[in-house]
């Protein structure tokens, strides 16, 4: 028996035989051409064909994993239509007089390397998407067909150095017990798809995957373990773990579609907090009532210049469209300089957590604020969107923000651009100051969202990023709980609803306390939605405590 420790990518257990799949490499032809325009036409034709393939894959994905998968392929379509990729290929063909297969290969290497060098994990993972897409173009140009290239005739565990998103999607779920990849990260699209498909999956185990072909193994997607040729004892332990896990999942799945209400019939708004476009899939999968907090930082982190209004608009629009009639609360940019945004030009700060971030950064950078507001308002014409202002501590900040929001609305109106005139504006209550003056702030906005991560950090004067302070961190500290209670009371006096978000609400031991404070809703990570719903449905607020 051999045991390898890796990264847990998708939860659950798989027990079975391994099939090693070779993610193939091929020789790309390289030659000079006389008729460069003909070559560019070949490239354009390949793009249309690849776009057609993406549509088919998208349809397939909808059938197998639901509507949400559309986002991944919309991202691929976006890359396919990207002007920089197109211009790069055209330049190589025109200036170097090279064939377009070679030009696509060069563009693919250039852009995937560019993404691979970024600091942000999420953006770095997009380099694999570029390779996947370039492969599609090359398949068309070289008349090969990669669809369904991994074929399984019986249920097996797949091992591969790397899987592309389209590889993962082309797998027939009933035949894939589990997935082991060589180098893959939690945020790659292939990983995301394996989670959506519910296939136990691990990565980075350090095992030489070719040698595992045909061997019996256990994939432990909970702890990120790979056990090859397990002993009888380990095998029977894992069969029972697998059974328990599946029972628990079934129990939680039975919560899907059920109303989120307490035993005594109080309806609670249960929504999800997310940080990227891809998370939308698990929001819908877990049957959340909406997105209670979309951290917009993902559009700004790990890049060298501001995202344009259009880029932001397209992202917000894609999310709100995927959410259909469910609400998305977009939190305005709340980035700390450490997140790799040199282009924001924030000078080095001794205390970045107390520095130029949230509403302060936005008010200090009117163009940044206006651009984000314009993008959000434009997207609001396509679905239900609300805005949340982070890091507020004074009424003046709210007034200034609302003034700009009004100017943006007037501007859009005069330009004839549609937006939702009833879009709500709310506050993140995450500084003790905001909680203490919540009676004043409540009259200025449409809702409150209590951010327990920052509220805890600032109330306890305890840096949430500093692991050394772990022993001083009191989970659900009384001071924080009192501020939460006060905020809810003040909000209700002013007639506005309050949702609580942050890590504290993922702890279902506190759910009842928050409900007794009067919380109207919770925004939790998508994976905790069903657990929280089950908890809420078990609480009777009429019970005397």
> What minimum distance in Å lies between the beta carbon of 361 and ligand PEP?
13
Q: Single out the segment in contact with ligand PEP by CB under 6 A; choices: 121-129, 134-142, 445-453, 511-519.
A: 445-453
Q: Single out the segment in contact with Mg ion by CB under 5 A; choices: 109-117, 188-196, 425-433, 485-493.
A: 425-433
Question: Which residue stretches of 142-258 are H helix?
Answer: 165-170, 189-197, 232-253
Question: Which residue stretches of 415-462 are H helix?
Answer: 432-436, 438-442, 452-459
C-alpha span between 421 and 389 (Å, rounded): 18
Residue 502 site contact among ligand PEP, Mg ion, none (CB < 5 to 8 Å, cut-off depends on kind):
ligand PEP
Residue whose CB is less far from Mg ion, 12 or 451: 451
One character per residue 449-468, x = contact with Mg ion (rule: CB under 5 A): --x--x--------------
* Dihedral over alpha carbons 475, 477, 481, 483 (to 10 degrees): -120
Place of tokens 């997607």: 221
**Residue with the CB atom nearest Mg ion in the bound state:** 454
For helices 83-96 and 100-116, what crossing angle results, to 10°? 130
117 to each of 114, 189, 372, 502, how far by Cα in Å?
A: 5, 18, 26, 30
Q: Which of 452, 506, 508, 532 binds ligand PEP (CB under 6 A)?
A: 452
245 to each of 220, 228, 240, how far by Cα in Å?
A: 11, 21, 9
Query: Which residue in 255, 183, 257, 181 sits closest to 219, CA to CA?
Result: 181
Residue 188 site contact among ligand PEP, Mg ion, none (CB < 5 to 8 Å, cut-off depends on kind):
none
> What minimum distance in Å lies between the beta carbon of 502 and Mg ion?
7
Is residue 430 a contact residue for ligand PEP (CB under 6 A)? yes
Residue 295 site contact among ligand PEP, Mg ion, none (CB < 5 to 8 Å, cut-off depends on kind):
ligand PEP
> What minimum distance in Å lies between the beta carbon of 473 and ligand PEP?
14
Residue whose CB is less far from Mg ion, 266 or 360: 360
Spatial contact of 405 and 425, defined as CB atoms under 8 Å apart: yes
Q: Which of 90, 454, 512, 520 binds ligand PEP (CB under 6 A)?
A: 454
> What minimum distance in Å lies between the beta carbon of 430 and Mg ion?
5
Of residues 256-315, which lie at the interface with ligand PEP (CB under 6 A)?
Answer: 293, 295
Spatial contact of 536 and 260, defined as CB atoms under 8 Å apart: yes
139 to each of 31, 38, 171, 227, 471, how far by Cα in Å?
A: 18, 18, 19, 36, 55
> Beta 521-524 vs 269-274: how paired, if at all?
parallel
Q: Single out the segment in contact with Mg ion by CB under 5 A; choices: 87-95, 300-308, 423-431, 479-487.
A: 423-431
C-alpha span between 310 and 163 (Å, rounded): 31
Residue whose CB is less far from ligand PEP, 60 or 464: 464
> What minimum distance in Å lies between the beta carbon of 336 and ligand PEP?
9
Q: How far is C-alpha 45 from the chain's CA centre?
A: 33
Q: Which of 189, 271, 341, 388 is catalytic?
A: 189
Residue whose CB is less far from ligand PEP, 351 or 414: 351
> How many other β-carbons are positioned within 10 Å of the β-carbon of residue 57?
20
Is residue 150 a contact residue for ligand PEP (CB under 6 A)? no
Question: Mapping DSSP to helix (H, G, I), strand (E, B) and coil, where does residue 146 land?
Answer: coil
Of residues 260-289, which lie at the interface with Mg ion (CB under 5 A)?
Answer: none
Q: Show Cβ contacts of residue 26 under 8 Å, excluding neighbours closer than 6 positions.
A: 138, 142
Residue whose CB is less far from Mg ion, 69 or 431: 431
C-alpha span between 244 and 9 (Å, rounded): 19
Q: Single out the segment in contact with ligand PEP by CB under 6 A; choices: 104-112, 153-161, 191-199, 452-460.
A: 452-460
Q: Which of 178, 497, 502, 521 binds ligand PEP (CB under 6 A)?
A: 502
> What minimum distance in Å lies between the beta carbon of 335 and ligand PEP?
10
Q: Single out the segment in contact with Mg ion by CB under 5 A; choices: 249-257, 432-440, 446-454, 479-487.
A: 446-454
C-alpha span between 291 and 71 (Å, rounded): 16
Is residue 430 a contact residue for Mg ion (CB under 5 A)? yes
Q: Single out the segment in contact with ligand PEP by CB under 6 A; choices: 14-22, 58-66, 125-133, 450-458.
A: 450-458
189 is catalytic: yes
Catalytic residues: 189, 501
Which spans of this chain sit near ligand PEP (rule: CB under 6 A)?
A: 293, 295, 430, 451-454, 501-502
Residues forming the site for Mg ion (CB under 5 A): 430, 451, 454
């Amino acid at each position: 028996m051999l045991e390898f420790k890796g990264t847990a990518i998708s939860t659950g257990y798989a027990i079975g035989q391994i099939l090693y799949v070779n993610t193939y490499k091929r020789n790309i032809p390289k030659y000079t051409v006389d008729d460069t325009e003909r070559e560019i036409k070949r490239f354009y034709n390949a793009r249309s064909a690849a776009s057609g393939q993406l549509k088919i894959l998208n349809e397939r994905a909808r059938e197998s994993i639901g509507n949400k998968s559309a986002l991944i392929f919309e991202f691929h379509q976006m890359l396919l239509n990207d002007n920089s990729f197109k211009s790069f290929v055209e330049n190589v063909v025109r200036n170097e007089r090279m064939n377009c297969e070679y030009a696509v290969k060069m563009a693919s290497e250039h852009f995937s390397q560019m993404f691979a060098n970024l600091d942000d994990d999420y953006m770095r993972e997009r380099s694999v998407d570029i390779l996947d897409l370039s492969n599609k173009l090359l398949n068309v140009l070289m008349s090969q067909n990669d669809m369904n290239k991994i074929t399984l005739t019986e249920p097996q565990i797949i091992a591969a150095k790397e899987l592309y998103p389209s590889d993962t999607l082309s797998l027939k779920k009933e035949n894939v017990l589990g997935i082991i990849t060589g180098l893959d990260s939690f945020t790659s699209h292939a990983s995301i798809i394996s989670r959506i498909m519910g296939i136990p999956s691990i990565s980075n185990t350090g095992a030489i995957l070719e040698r595992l072909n045909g061997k019996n193994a256990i994939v432990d997607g909970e702890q990120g373990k790979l056990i090859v040729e397990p002993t009888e004892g380990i095998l029977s332990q894992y069969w029972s773990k697998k059974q328990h896990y599946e029972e628990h999942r079934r129990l939680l799945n039975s919560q899907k579609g059920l109303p989120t209400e307490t035993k005594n019939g109080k309806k609670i708004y249960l929504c999800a907090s997310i940080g990227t476009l891809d998370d939308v899939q698990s929001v819908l999968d877990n049957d959340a009532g909406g997105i209670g907090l979309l951290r917009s930082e993902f559009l700004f982190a790990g890049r060298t210049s501001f995202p344009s209004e259009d880029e932001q608009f397209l992202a917000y629009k894609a999310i709100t469209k995927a959410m259909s009639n469910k609400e998305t609360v977009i939190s305005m940019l709340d980035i700390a300089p450490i997140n790799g945004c040199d282009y924001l030009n924030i000078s080095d700060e001794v205390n970045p957590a107390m520095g130029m971030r949230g509403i302060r950064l936005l008010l200090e950078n009117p163009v940044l604020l206006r651009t984000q507001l314009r993008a959000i308002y434009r997207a609001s014409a396509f679905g239900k969107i609300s805005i949340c202002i982070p890091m507020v501590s004074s009424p003046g900040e709210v007034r200034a923000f609302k003034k700009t929001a009004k100017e943006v609305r007037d501007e859009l109106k005069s330009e004839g651009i549609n937006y939702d005139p009833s879009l709500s504006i709310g506050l993140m209550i995450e500084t003790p100051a905001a909680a203490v003056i919540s009676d004043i702030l409540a009259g200025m906005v449409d809702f409150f969202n209590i951010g327990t991560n920052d509220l805890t950090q600032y109330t306890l004067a305890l840096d949430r990023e500093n692991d050394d302070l772990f022993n001083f961190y009191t989970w659900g500290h009384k001071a924080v709980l009192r501020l939460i209670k006060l905020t809810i009371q003040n909000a209700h006096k002013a007639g506005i609803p309050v949702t609580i978000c942050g890590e504290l609400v993922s702890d279902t031991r506190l759910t009842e306390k928050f409900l007794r404070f009067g919380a109207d809703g919770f925004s939790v990570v998508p994976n905790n939605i069903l657990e929280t719903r089950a908890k809420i449905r078990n609480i009777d607020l009429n019970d005397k405590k």
